């Protein structure tokens, strides 16, 4: 009888009666089954957990390298930021100061008159303080020709101080009742804003107490 046939006919209640070769094969098969069961129930979950940890390690390593690179560039970024702040301050210093603003408003109004423009309304509004500058709205209504308005803009640009004028809700239409004025007169009406820089004391307060402060 072959060993295979002997194992097929083996009585599991009397395994001791098997021949030595049959016992050896039976023990080997049992050992293989035990190892397979151990791998399936114990080693396999641990292997999956290990693979997850390896993937997590790769992600953490990438995050660490990214943060390390940012940290290495932090000093250069801070230095660049300080340079940008300095440039901004230098640009703001070219704007009119608080004490120069009244004279500036007079200069703007006189520039319009010098260009031949009729000032029907030139009314400065309360100042609005922002983070690092202040804006001064001006309600106006002017009457003049297209070329006179061009001369006015050119004259404002030629003032000694840097003057920034931005227009808001501006309308430009023919003066008088007709669709087109006989002498080319136009009425410009709306609000313009000019700007000044904040002095050191105002910058320290941040404009928190001023109406409209940001």
Can you state the angle between helices 146-157 and 101-114, rounded to 10 degrees?
150
Quote the pLDDT of residue 137. 92
Task: List the pLDDT tens digit at each of the 214 positions of the chain.
Answer: 565 655 555 555 555 555 666 666 767 777 777 777 766 666 666 777 777 888 888 888 888 888 877 777 888 888 888 888 887 777 767 778 888 888 888 988 999 999 999 999 999 999 998 877 888 999 999 999 989 998 988 888 888 777 787 888 888 888 776 555 557 888 989 998 888 888 777 764 544 434 444 3
Strand stretches in 35-77, DSSP E? none
Quote the pLDDT of residue 142. 92
Nearest to 113 by CA among 142, 88, 87, 133: 142
| Eight-class DSSP state of 31 | H
Quote the pLDDT of residue 113. 93
Nearest to 188 by CA among 125, 137, 118, 136: 118
Coil, strand or helix at 118: strand
What tens digit of pLDDT does each residue of 140-162 get?
999 999 899 989 888 888 887 77
How many residues in the chain? 214
Quote the pLDDT of residue 209. 39
CA 194 to CA 168: how far, in whole Å?
11
Domains of the chain (ranges, CATH numbers): 1-92 (no CATH), 101-205 (3.30.70.60)
CA 56 to CA 107: how far, in whole Å?
68
């Amino acid at each position: 009888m072959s060993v295979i046939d002997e194992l097929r006919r083996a009585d599991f209640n009397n395994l001791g009666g098997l021949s030595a070769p049959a016992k050896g094969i039976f023990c080997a098969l049992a050992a293989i089954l035990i190892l397979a069961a151990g791998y399936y129930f114990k080693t396999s979950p641990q292997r999956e957990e290990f693979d997850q940890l390896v993937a997590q390690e790769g992600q953490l390593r990438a995050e660490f390298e990214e943060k390390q690179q940012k940290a290495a560039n932090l000093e250069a970024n801070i230095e660049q930021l300080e340079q940008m702040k300095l440039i901004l301050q230098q640009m703001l210093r070219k704007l009119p100061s608080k004490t120069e603003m009244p004279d500036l408003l007079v200069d703007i109004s006189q520039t319009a008159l010098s260009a031949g423009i009729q000032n029907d309304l030139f009314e400065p509004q309360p100042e609005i303080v922002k983070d690092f500058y202040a804006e001064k709205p001006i309600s106006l209504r002017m009457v003049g020709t297209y070329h006179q308005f061009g001369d006015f803009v050119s004259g404002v640009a030629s003032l000694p101080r840097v003057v920034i004028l931005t227009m808001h809700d501006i309308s430009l239409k023919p003066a008088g009742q007709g669709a087109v004025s006989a002498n080319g007169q136009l009425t410009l009406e709306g609000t313009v804003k000019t700007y000044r820089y904040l002095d050191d004391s105002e910058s320290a307060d941040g404009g928190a107490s001023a109406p409209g402060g940001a």
